[in-house]
């Protein structure tokens, strides 16, 4: 397989047609090597429009979904990011290149170890991979400029709303399968939030996600 050609085809045939037109995002997809974050048994799927299985029954998002979420949160270099669900570390690597620091929280020890190893091998130094359950948010380091939840939730726990700064954004896939939508929730003041549904999708639920105090839009 010609890896550079496969990467180019992924961008031009999957990602750009999915309204990912931010050139900085497209350039980053060339820079961060997705094949370095895919399990060895799935290397031939690194650039395919499919969920790639990970240990513990988890999966990587499709390339176009990762790219679209990255575009929609509009990260700036001085911002801090919280990611819930480290997976293989690939999304954290993308976020890290566009931000000051990323804290990514993973509930499965084998995925925490995988993410740490992949990020180290890729030379990404501004990511902290925490082991824990982030389904109710992550107080350490809060408030954050951007929160990306790498798994679906039926509703968004209120804790996340309190852990994002005014002017900050939350990327969350919300709904009951198979009807889910990716939302960008912007905190516009101490008490007000603006929600935009950017596209419909269907992904796996976040591990250990429960339905406690709820915030409905």
Confidence of residue 31 (pLDDT cuts 50, 70, 90): very high
> What pLDDT digit, counting tens, does each position of 84-119 carry?
999 999 999 999 999 999 999 999 999 999 999 999
- Both structure tokens of 177: 């399968």
Percent of the chain whose pLDDT exceeds 90: 93
Question: Is residue 8 assigned to a domain?
Answer: no
Question: Is residue 188 assigned to a domain?
Answer: yes
Question: Is residue 92 assigned to a domain?
Answer: yes
Question: Is residue 104 assigned to a domain?
Answer: yes
Question: Is residue 11 assigned to a domain?
Answer: no
Residue with tokens 């480290």: 86
Q: What are the backbone dihedrals phi and psi of residue 11, each rounded to the nearest 5 degrees, phi first?
A: -65, -45
Question: Is residue 178 assigned to a domain?
Answer: yes
Question: Is residue 16 assigned to a domain?
Answer: no
Confidence of residue 207 (pLDDT cuts 50, 70, 90): confident
Decide if pLDDT at 55 tops 70: yes
Q: What rounded mean pLDDT belongs to the chain?
A: 94
Nearest to 147 by CA among 50, 156, 201: 156
Non-local CB neighbours of 63 within 8 Å, separated by 6+ positions: 10, 14, 15, 29, 34, 47, 49
Q: What is the pLDDT of residue 216?
A: 46
Number of domains in the chain: 1
Q: What is the pLDDT of residue 112?
A: 98
Domain that holds residue 141: 64-215
Could you tell me the CA-to-CA distances from 5 to 8, 11, 13, 28, 64 in Å, in that order?
Answer: 5, 10, 12, 16, 17
Question: Is residue 34 assigned to a domain?
Answer: no
Angle at 10 between CA 205 and CA 88, to 5 degrees: 40
> What pLDDT digit, counting tens, does each position of 185-201 carry?
999 999 999 999 999 99
Whichever domain contains 156, its CATH number is 3.40.50.150
Q: What is the pLDDT of residue 96?
A: 98
């Amino acid at each position: 397989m010609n890896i550079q050609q496969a990467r180019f085809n992924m961008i031009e045939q999957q990602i750009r047609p999915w309204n990912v037109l931010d050139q900085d995002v497209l350039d980053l997809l060339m820079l961060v090597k997705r094949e370095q974050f895919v399990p060895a048994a799935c290397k031939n799927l690194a650039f395919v429009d499919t969920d790639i299985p990970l240990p513990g029954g988890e999966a990587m998002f499709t390339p176009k979904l990762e790219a679209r979420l990255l575009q929609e949160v509009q990260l700036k270099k001085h911002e801090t990011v919280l990611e819930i669900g480290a997976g293989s570390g690939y999304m954290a690597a993308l976020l890290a290149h566009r931000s000051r620091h990323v804290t990514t929280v993973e509930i499965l020890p084998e995925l925490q170890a995988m993410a740490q190893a992949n990020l180290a091998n890729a030379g990404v130094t501004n990511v902290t991979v925490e082991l824990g359950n982030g389904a109710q948010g992550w107080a350490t380091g809060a408030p954050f400029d951007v929160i990306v939840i790498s798994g679906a939730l039926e509703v968004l726990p209120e804790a996340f709303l309190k852990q994002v700064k005014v002017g900050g954004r939350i990327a969350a896939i919300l709904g009951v399968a198979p009807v889910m939508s990716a939302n960008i929730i912007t905190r516009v003041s101490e008490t007000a939030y603006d929600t935009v549904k950017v596209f419909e999708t269907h992904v796996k639920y976040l591990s250990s996600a429960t339905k406690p105090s709820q915030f409905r839009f």
